[in-house]
Amino acid sequence: MAALFAAVFIALYVAHSVGDHWVQSSCQAAAKGQPGWPGRLACARHVLGLTLTKALALAVVVLALHLPVTALGLVLGLGLDAASHYWADRRTTLARLAQLCGKAEFYSLGTPAHAAHPVTAGGTPAATLGTGAYALDQSWHHLWLGVAALLIATV
């Protein structure tokens, strides 16, 4: 059972990275947090592409390793993962959670909104390689990948 969980988690983790960064279009990334239907639809398209990427990766691993997973486990795991991903990627939801958990300052890290944001010699905001919002977003997704892998491996 532990090896099944590990194999499923690794497949989901790799597919998550590919789906969240390579499969997601620039348009989806820019629009998914916008209010109203344009943002909701962009986020839904992103989550659909991401979930299909994860399903494909899982299919390859399950077939290649002859893993004993059930259709119900796959539907529950991928469905919960997709729902949690959509929730976080609407952006205001995760920002509110960060604020409620006392992580608002970390959430703004790497942006001009942060009190200690980096600046150029000219005093303008300097580019950074990452933000607190991105780190919290990915951490949230990793949590739910673990839950999804557990469901897939045990149901």
Is-above-0.85 flag for pTM? yes
Structure token digits, residue 103:
């992580």
Q: Is the pLDDT of residue 100 over 70?
A: yes
As a whole number of angstroms, the distance between CA 153 and CA 4 comes to: 6
Secondary structure (DSSP) of 126-151: PP-S--HHHHHHHHHHHHHHHHHHHH
* Domain locations along the chain: 2-113+129-154
Question: pLDDT, tens digit, for every residue of 37-57?
Answer: 999 999 999 999 999 999 999
